Amino acid sequence: MNKRSIPLLVAAGLAVTISAAAEETRSTLADQQSVAVTIYNENLALVKDQRKIQLGSGQNTLAFRDVSAQMRPETALLRSLSSPGKLSVIEQNFDFDLLTPQKLLEKFVGKSVGIIKTNPATGAETTEQAQVLAANNGVVLKMGDRIETGVPGRIVYGDVPANLRDRPTLVMSLNNGGTAQQDVELSYLTGGLGWKADYVAELNAADDKLDLSGWVTLTNTSGASYRNAKLQLVAGDVNRVQDERRLVRAMSKMEMAASADVQQMAEESLLEYHLYTLDRSTTIAENQTKQVSLLSASGVPVRKELLLRGADYYYSSSYGELGQKMKVGVFVEFDNKENARLGMPLPKGIIRVYKKDGAGNAQFVGEDRIDHTPRNEKVRLKLGEAFDVTADKKQTDFKKLPNPTKGTAMFESAYEVVLKNAKKEAVTVTVQEPIPADWKIIKSSHAHEKAASNTAVWRIDVPAEGKTTLTYRVQVKY
């Protein structure tokens, strides 16, 4: 085949492509009237895509382009909004095998292609027919009576296979008994869309109030964009049947897009979950991470606690020293109530806490993860371990008492806890001891309370740059 025959080959390919395109009605984002996206916590979203399309009477083939590449096609539902009940789906195919040079070559294994070679001396081009024998880890061609590997020139294809598309496409065979122009809605579940809540809190100088901001971080790796979408988020643990099929897709570099609108999202109950609705439309671009404001509250009353938590293993044996310079945990707690300037169901996420230093610069002081938190519940965060408050702990006495009844054992032990404070101000340390079995405190240097069936709690004041010693004796019966 000479150079003049190349346009004939290309024209023939275009004719086949145009003919195939004429057999189906294509719908793109240009037809989209609106789109609504409801995103759940665990990589799941419900998409409702409304478009205006033109159909013929009777049977039609509709190529619904620009859908999510991670669509679950078994959940797809197309319905007519303008002619309800007069549009039915007979068959549908989800084409997510996207057009690339390698994919095109793979689809032509066993078929003929044109190979265009250029004479390096004259620049003249010639075309030779070749059969593609293999396209895995390179290409194998049969050209005349010889076999060649690699690509000896440019490859010319006669057409593009029908199931190889440049964008993810849902192809549906329809029966239209309604009007030619219709408003339709395609709804489906998809992976590749997820959200999480992140919170930023700033403590005041006295550690008794904080300002809290909540952000929703959306991540879109679904292979589609959702322009001017109506966005809703569902917080809660929705049960899902596990699908054994997994679509593994490469994730492109994500782009951060922070929203300048700081209005809170509207919240409402939905079955046993909570639904958050953004009061404006937003674009969720493909391969993008976006942040939108969830809530903002200032002056939330907070309680700080320094906690020394013990263990239950040393109440039935002799141990002596139990620890030197033991760490005291730093916790903050606040109420999710309206009278505490909150009262909004909080989706699970991470709360990062900051506090201003002497120069007025906010410094990170710790973070913790919270679960879904309803209204009127407490939020408790562990920020870290205290630097200036430590404890030395030892068992000062242990003895086994005569068995009160057959099959039981009784022990008596005594303890000394020295709490040290290197700060320039006094602190209060909560000492929490999980004591097993049937127990009673028979002697203690400080008052205690029985916080639970297996927990004794002391609240000990420790002076500035000083120390306080807690001693107690306990009997335990197993």
Q: How many helical (H) and strand (E) elements, i.e. helices and strands, does the chain have?
A: 2, 31
Domains 3-98+164-190 and 303-336+379-477 share a fold: yes
SS3 readout for 314-349:
HHCCCCCEEEEEEEEEEEEEEECCHHHCCCCCECCE
Q: Which residue has the higher pLDDT, 270 or 335?
A: 335
3-state secondary structure of 25: strand
User: What is the structure's pLDDT at 270?
Assistant: 66
Lowest mean pLDDT: which of 19-23, 40-44, 201-205, 386-390?
A: 19-23
* pLDDT above 70: residue 163: no
Q: What percent of the chain has pLDDT over 90?
A: 64
User: What is the structure's pLDDT at 271?
Assistant: 66
For residue 193, the cross-strand partners are 220
CATH class of 303-336+379-477: mainly beta
391's tokens:
């404890």
CATH number, domain 3-98+164-190, options 2.60.40, 3.30.70, 2.40.10, 1.20.120: 2.60.40
Mean pLDDT, the chain, as a whole number?
86
Q: What is the pTM of this model?
A: 0.71
What is the DSSP secondary structure assignment for residue 431, as one 8-state letter?
A: E
- State phi, psi for 84 to the nearest 5 degrees: -60, 135
pLDDT classification of 97: cutoffs 50, 70, 90: low
**CA torsion, points 421, 322, 469, 391, in degrees to nearest 10?**
10
**301-328 pLDDT, tens per residue?**
999 999 999 999 999 999 999 999 999 9
Beta carbons of 351 and 345 less than 8 angstroms apart: no
CATH fold label, 101-156 = SH3 type barrels. (2.30.30)
| Domain spans, the chain | 3-98+164-190, 101-156, 193-301, 303-336+379-477
* pLDDT above 70: residue 417: yes
The listed range with the strongest mean pLDDT (260-269, 394-403, 458-467) is: 458-467
Alpha-carbon span 226 to 49, nearest angstrom: 9
Q: Which residue has the higher pLDDT, 150 or 133?
A: 133
- Over range 38-62, report the average pLDDT: 93
Beta carbons of 319 and 360 less than 8 angstroms apart: no
Q: Which residue has tokens 């002497």?
A: 358
Beta carbons of 132 and 141 less than 8 angstroms apart: yes
Strand pairing category for 226-235 and 32-40: parallel
Alpha-carbon span 46 to 67, nearest angstrom: 12
Least Cα distance to 253 among 289, 227, 215 occurs for: 289
Lowest mean pLDDT: which of 137-141, 159-163, 247-251, 408-412?
A: 247-251
**186-203 pLDDT, tens per residue?**
999 999 999 999 999 999
* pLDDT above 60: residue 246: no
User: What is the structure's pLDDT at 1?
Assistant: 44
Please give the helix or strand (H or E) that residue 275 lies within, else none: strand 273-284
Query: In angstroms, how far is CA 9 from the centroid of its own chain?
Result: 50
* pLDDT above 60: residue 9: no
Q: Which residue has tokens 């159909």?
A: 55
Q: Which residue has the higher pLDDT, 236 or 384?
A: 384
Strand pairing category for 427-434 and 410-421: unpaired
User: What is the structure's pLDDT at 43?
Assistant: 86
User: What is the structure's pLDDT at 164?
Assistant: 65
